[in-house]
Amino acid sequence: MAVLVLADHDGSALTQPSRSTIAAAAKLGEVHVLVLGAAAAAQAAAQVAGVAKVLHSEAEPYANGLAEPVAALLVALAPNYSHLLAPASAAGKNVMPRVAALLDVQVISDIAGVVDADTFVRPIYAGNALATVKSADPKKVITVRAASFDPAAATGGSAAVEAAPSADDPGLSSFLGAEIAKSERPELTAARIVVSGGRAMGSSENFKIIEGVADKLGAAVGASRAAVDAGYAPNDHQVGQTGKIVAPELYIAVGISGAIQHLAGMKDSKVIVAINKDEEAPIFSVADYGLVGDLFKLMPELEAELAKK
Amino acid sequence: MKLLVPVKRVVDYNVKVRVKADGTGVETANVKMSMNPFDEIAVEEAVRLKEKGVATEIVAVSCGPTACQEQIRTALAMGADRGILVEHDGVLEPLAVAKLLKALVAKENPELVILGKQAIDDDMNATGQMLAALLGWAQGTFASKVEKDGDKLKVTREVDGGLETVSLKLPAIVTTDLRLNEPRYASLPNIMKARKKPIENVKPADLGVDVTPRLTVLKVEEPAKRQAGKKVGSVQELVDKLRNEAKVI
């Protein structure tokens, strides 16, 4: 039986976490992808390596990703699939547990490994333990930790695009608006390099020091929870257990002490750099390269050094 | 408007958990237990809605062993009016908890259930959405702002690119994100008063709910540990290492 992936997209292409989800799904069966909204994104999904079929709908209730109609659509499609997957993004985490409950199955959240069709590895306790769980449910509903799977290539596939059926909109909620930050920088969960600031940044004004270095590296900007709570950085920058999980090639933690909740979001990065004035800070215990000192002195030096080729 | 607020007893967020040597789970004996931090935010939001005159009564619920009474007492000390303990000693997965809560909703008829978005032990992020599904209610997950708007509820949600706002028909489910509010500490007089507030005790069987787990935990292990690396002496040395040793820039 085929497996279905609910993909996130930006209007023209699938997000990288969606392609990681397709890679995880490919271990379970023939992959079909459901794309809601822009037709260009459905065309892009058809190009992704390993995708056998794309289901697409531009119907009104799905356009803004409201959980109730999207879950109803997935439930209508479910009889054809053994597994239903989505990235563990804000959208996937919103919809998939609702789908699971409607199907009377226990959702398997944030998987980091596929053992077999019934058995999955998932982090618990902020990633301080890994549980291998076997599901007894007839159908599996899953969200996927994108950082744990290499994304499927964006090109190389040539799937057919079909119109998705429509399901009744339960009409329980309506979309009023969104404030989505526009940025030239790469998306946090897809970036090759991430530079993150913590509470020690002291103000949102000072966060520009992080941005300066990030722009020299073509990096995304992240933040610790403390920095977000203090208003130095917007909520969508938060890296950690309950924020975004990232695993870039290079993660630079600036003025971040390294609470376990933050480490949970970045400790699978390939190379970690910590810059902190407290040489006892726990962040140094996971860093490949540590630099002890005043970030307000070191960061401008770093920006200048990176400018030299 | 009557509110139901479920609270979960979890290993305190400051505890560094240890995986049991036999790989069956994590060590929870003699470990400090607390209310799940997101559930504290849920209780706080409920109390604020009551202080604003929007809510009339707050019922705090916990599902789990007898000791969950401590977390219900905490909610009562913060301002909830009464408690319900659904007593059960085994594993309770989000689907089972959602079914228990659905049964309580049928008895209590709340207009709004506010839950934490995620418990910091199993990190499932599921119970609120599952309860909304079982009740056929609207859901406003990962909320950073909740406002009553006539006969609807306006919820601002933390999403991947920023914030979005949805309007929910009532009754509805809200799950809390970190920026919704800052929970209060219960004052000593309120802790004393909370001791006199009633807690009802029920069993899953009383509610007619089968709580058999759907997932079997085959093993629990520690993730690979990262080795601490080296300290570098200067920015120049750092950039050199990143360029020529790690080769990441």
Q: What is the mean pLDDT of residues A255-268?
A: 96
What whole-number distance in Å separates Cα of residue B88 and Cα of residue B77? Answer: 23
3-state secondary structure chain A: CEEEEECCECCCCECHHHHHHHHHHCCCCCEEEEEECCHHHHHHHHHCCCEEEEEEECCHHHCCCCHHHHHHHHHHHHHHEEEEEEECCHHHHHHHHHHHHHCCCCCEEEECEEEECCEEEEEECCCCEEEEEEECCCCEEEEECHHHCCCCCCCCCCCEEEECCCCCCCCCEEEEEEEECCCCCCCHHHCCEEEEECHHHCCCCCCHHHHHHHHHHCCEEEECHHHHHCCCCCHHHEECCCCECCCCCEEEEECCCCCHHHHHHHCCCCEEEEEECCCCCHHHHCCCEEEECCHHHHHHHHHHHHHCC
The pLDDT score that the predictor gives to residue B227 is 87
Q: What is the mean pLDDT of residues A222-238?
A: 96
| CA neighbor of B61 nearest in space, from B128, B5, B117 | B5
Task: Tell me how close the Cα of B91 comes to any Cα of chain A, in angstroms.
Answer: 13
Q: Does position A4 have pLDDT exceeding 90, yes or no? A: yes
Task: Summarize pLDDT for A145-174 with one digit per residue, the tens.
Answer: 999 999 999 999 999 999 999 898 999 999
The pLDDT score that the predictor gives to residue A255 is 98
- Percent of all residues in chain B with a pLDDT value above 90, rounded to a whole number: 97
Q: What is the mean pLDDT of residues B63-69?
A: 98
Q: Does position A301 have pLDDT exceeding 80, yes or no? A: yes
The pLDDT score that the predictor gives to residue B161 is 86
The pLDDT score that the predictor gives to residue B155 is 98
The pLDDT score that the predictor gives to residue A303 is 97
Q: How confident is the model at residue A246 (pLDDT cuts 50, 70, 90)?
A: very high
The pLDDT score that the predictor gives to residue B222 is 95
Q: How confident is the model at residue B228 (pLDDT cuts 50, 70, 90)?
A: confident
Chain A, 165-204: which have a CB under 8 Å from a chain B CB?
Answer: 170-181, 189, 193
What whole-number distance in Å separates Cα of residue B100 and Cα of residue B71? Answer: 18
Q: Does position A183 have pLDDT exceeding 90, yes or no? A: no
Chain A, 91-110: which have a CB under 8 Å from a chain B CB?
Answer: 91, 93-102, 104-110
Chain B, 114-153: which have a CB under 8 Å from a chain A CB?
Answer: 117-118, 120-134, 136-142, 144
Report yes or no on whether pTM surpasses 0.90: yes
Q: How confident is the model at residue B130 (pLDDT cuts 50, 70, 90)?
A: very high
Task: Summarize pLDDT for A69-86 with one digit per residue, the tens.
Answer: 999 999 999 999 999 999
The pLDDT score that the predictor gives to residue B225 is 87
The pLDDT score that the predictor gives to residue A157 is 95
Q: By CA distance, what is A307's nearest residue in B? A: B239
Q: How confident is the model at residue A10 (pLDDT cuts 50, 70, 90)?
A: very high
Q: What is the mean pLDDT of residues B105-131?
A: 98
Domains identified in chain B and CATH numbers: 2-244 (3.40.50.620)
Q: Does position B7 have pLDDT exceeding 90, yes or no? A: yes
Average pLDDT, chain A: 96
Chain B residues in contact with A126 by the CB 8 A cut-off are 120, 123
- Percent of all residues in chain B with a pLDDT value above 70, rounded to a whole number: 100
Task: Tell me how close the Cα of A13 comes to any Cα of chain B, in angstroms.
Answer: 16
Task: Tell me how close the Cα of B21 comes to any Cα of chain A, in angstroms.
Answer: 12
Q: By CA distance, what is B126's nearest residue in A? A: A97
Q: What is the mean pLDDT of residues A15-32?
A: 98
Q: How confident is the model at residue A144 (pLDDT cuts 50, 70, 90)?
A: very high
